[in-house]
Amino acid sequence: MNTLKYKRIMLKVSGEALAGDARRGLDFDIIGSVCQAIKTCTEMGVQVGLMVGAGNFWRGVKDGADKMQRSHADAMGMLGTVMNSIAVADALEKHGVDARVLCAVEMNKFCEYFTRDTADRYLNEGKVVIIAGGTGNPYFSTDTGVVLRGVEIEADAVLMAKNVDGIYSADPNVDPGAVKFDELTYDEVLARHLKATDSTAMTLAMDNNMTLVCFALKDPYNIVRVVRGEQVGTVVKN
């Protein structure tokens, strides 16, 4: 336990990352690697909360743009997170990790309803808690949802595992001169309009003094490195 920097985490995994090269659907080899990294964390004594995006199935603000009413499109995105959460929970169980899916929207046939106290109890019991449905409301991303739940469960940090290995001064896929930051403050991210999370998620983290760590999921073992306190990705804090 002395080797751990973060003992309770709220981890965000993008849906696109779970799709692999296919960019749609689920790549179970990738999911298995993520589950193995999470298992390693739990064996080290880390309490893991997890939220999965839905970009591998549907992104309401993008896929439904100008075609659907925004609330309806976002509802479909929330349902996508439920599908991903059930798949990851199943994979974790196959890896010998006890997992529970809690949803921001009542869906008793498939998962339990999220409450802070239920999540806290399961975490203390050593279970991985997968939180589906985002915030349960339209117009909020899963980035905002993971920060909100991280604050609620009193996580030591929110870990953002995405397709980019940190926060850059510009889009590294467009600007070859983009510079990667090792550490930033919330004010710097917001003032420079850096693309780390949406501004609502960043402001919520700042207001609640929640540390964010943004890193690439390309190597799932990065999750373990982060909880150990190794320099991976970009850390954002006050």
How confident is the model over 18-27, as pLDDT tens digits?
888 777 889 8
Q: Model confidence over 38-51: pLDDT tens digits? A: 999 999 999 999 99
pLDDT, tens digit (0-9, with 9 covering 90-100), for 78-129 = 999 999 999 999 999 999 999 999 999 999 999 999 999 999 999 999 999 9
- What is this structure's pTM? 0.92
What are the CA-CA distances from residue 113 to residues 65, 90, 124, 195, 231 (Å)?
Answer: 29, 18, 18, 32, 36
pLDDT attached to residue 60 = 67
pLDDT in tens, 197-215: 888 999 999 999 999 999 9
Q: What is the pLDDT of residues 157-187, one digit of tens each?
A: 999 998 889 999 998 888 989 999 999 999 9
Q: Which domains are seen in the chain, by residue range? A: 8-236 (3.40.1160.10)
68: number of CA atoms within 13 Å, CB side? 16
Q: Which residues of 166-182 are buried (b: 16+ CB within 10 A; e: fewer)?
A: bbbeeeeeeeeeeeebe
